[in-house]
Amino acid sequence: MEWFEVSTENCTVQRTLDLVGEKWTLLILRDAFNGVRRFDDFRRHMGLSEAVLADRLRKLVAAGILRTEPYREQGSRTRNAYRLTRKGRDLWPVLVALRQWGEAYAGDPAGPVLDIRHSECGAPVRVVVECTDEHIALAPTEVSARPGPAARPLA
């Protein structure tokens, strides 16, 4: 069976985009990775309406990407902070890859807005696709892709 003969109904890329493929969702995740935790801080930093932000946060919590953590400041009602779950933290390479592509093709001529470096040695960080046996970076022309066990034929 060839790729064009495979149904895309259960495609994992499609399923992932259903969860995190909306612009504001990715920007909420960007901010969460950079330490933003509270609703008002997300709203202020992103300029997003309360309704849209509440909807996206609710969906990320329901998907298990963020979790809520109650907090209460003196004199205020209890509110929720938002923290990345393991499932959420596993999206970090995706965001770094988007940032990396953006810096190469849509970046500001002055340089990166966010400079991501290895804490130990100070070298820049990048995302690569590598062979699990040889641990070498691969280009798209160096891999083969074929339908996997969950592939279903087009109806």
- Give me the pLDDT at residue 40, please: 95
Number of Cα atoms under 13 Å in the Cβ half of residue 94: 15
DSSP string, 59-72: HHHHTTSEEEEEE-
Say which CATH architecture domain 3-142 belongs to.
Answer: Orthogonal Bundle (1.10)
Note the pTM of the prediction, 2 decimals: 0.88
Mean pLDDT of 105-127: 94
Please say if the pLDDT value at position 135 is more than 80: yes
Question: To 10 degrees, what angle do helices 39-46 and 23-33 make?
Answer: 120
Both tokens of 78, joined, read 């209890």
For the segment 62-99, what is each residue's pLDDT rounded down to a tens digit? 999 999 999 998 998 999 999 999 999 999 999 999 99
Rounded to the nearest 5 percent, the helix, strand and coil shares of the chain are 40, 10, 45
Domain range annotation of the chain: 3-142
Please say if the pLDDT value at position 114 is more than 80: yes
- CA-wise closest residue to 45 among 118, 113, 107, 127: 113
* Maximum Cα interatomic distance, the chain, rounded to a whole number of Å: 64
**Residue appearing with tokens 């100070």:** 122
Q: 83: helix, coil or strand? A: strand
- Give me the pLDDT at residue 19, please: 92
